[in-house]
A and B are shown apart, each in its own frame.
Chain A
Amino acid sequence: EDKVVQSPLSLVVHEGDTVTLNCSYEVTNFRSLLWYKQEKKAPTFLFMLTSSGIEKKSGRLSSILDKKELFSILNITATQTGDSAVYLCAVEAYGQNFVFGPGTRLSVLP
């Protein structure tokens, strides 16, 4: 059965810290891995990764995928209180739906 695991499940940091969130997966016929940020309501899309070793960047956020070791990381540098959210990792397999991990709850303290 397809599975997505995220760690840590919860993280508390202070503003300005750098954090690394982890996502590992077991899925047959991997197609893509996606990161979402969820604050109060719907998850909002951050990144889609399909190839190993190519870093995707958006401002202070960046992510990379390792298809050999079956994991991805999401980095956030110089964290701000507005980064407080649940970060969800999802994996899509060919011809199938998206499988989500449990999320990492990030709290950034002022």
Chain B
Amino acid sequence: DTGVSQDPRHKITKRGQNVTFRCDPISEHNRLYWYRQTLGQGPEFLTYFQNEAQLEKSRLLSDRFSAERPKGSFSTLEIQRTEQGDSAMYLCASSFFHSRETEAFFGQGTRLTVV
């Protein structure tokens, strides 16, 4: 499978615990995005990377959230001290950014439930 893959697909955690999600983008893609989606809403931007550089982080993202892409390939998104409001689908997407148009392809998402 050469698409974007995310792991795990589902995560249930107790409030206050830390969780980490992984995203493996399409191999030649240099951009990687993280989005969060709650029921009935469109994806909400969290952060994105070009290669290993984190270019933008949403103002809505609290300091409990951190993302890395250390070698410019896979990325991890960590949420510390989870709260019930963090329950959502976390989507990763990747694209090959160049001088022409860019399309982003999404992974299947990680559904987080905080109890």
Contacts and interface: CB of A to CB of B under 8 A. Distances in A.
Interface of A: 4, 6, 31-32, 34, 36, 41-45, 48, 50, 88, 90, 92, 95-103, 105
Given A42-B108, A42-B109, A43-B106, A99 B101 contact: no
Contacts, number: 57
Contacts of A34: 103-104
Interface in B28-80: 33, 35, 40-45, 48, 55-56
Interface of B: 4, 33, 35, 40-45, 48, 55-56, 91, 93, 101-109
| Chain B CB within 10 A, most for which of A32, A98, A105 | A98
Contacts of B101: 31-32, 48, 50
A97 B42 contact: no
Contacts of B45: 97-100
Q: Is the interface of A mostly helix, strand, loop or mixed?
A: strand
A50 B102 CA distance: 10
Given A98-B45, A100-B43, 15 more contacts: A6-B42, A31-B102, A32-B101, A32-B102, A44-B106, A45-B103, A45-B104, A88-B42, A90-B43, A98-B93, A100-B35, A100-B42, A100-B44, A100-B45, A105-B40
Contacts of A41: 108-109
A97 B41 contact: no
A13 B109 CA distance: 29
A49 to B, nearest CB: 9
Contact of A97 (B33, B40, B107): B33
10 contacts: A4-B42, A32-B101, A36-B106, A97-B33, A97-B48, A97-B56, A98-B33, A98-B45, A100-B45, A102-B42
Nearest to A43: B106
Nearest to B46: A97
A35 B40 CA distance: 17
3 nearest A-B pairs in the assembled complex, by CB-CB distance: A100-B42, A42-B106, A100-B43
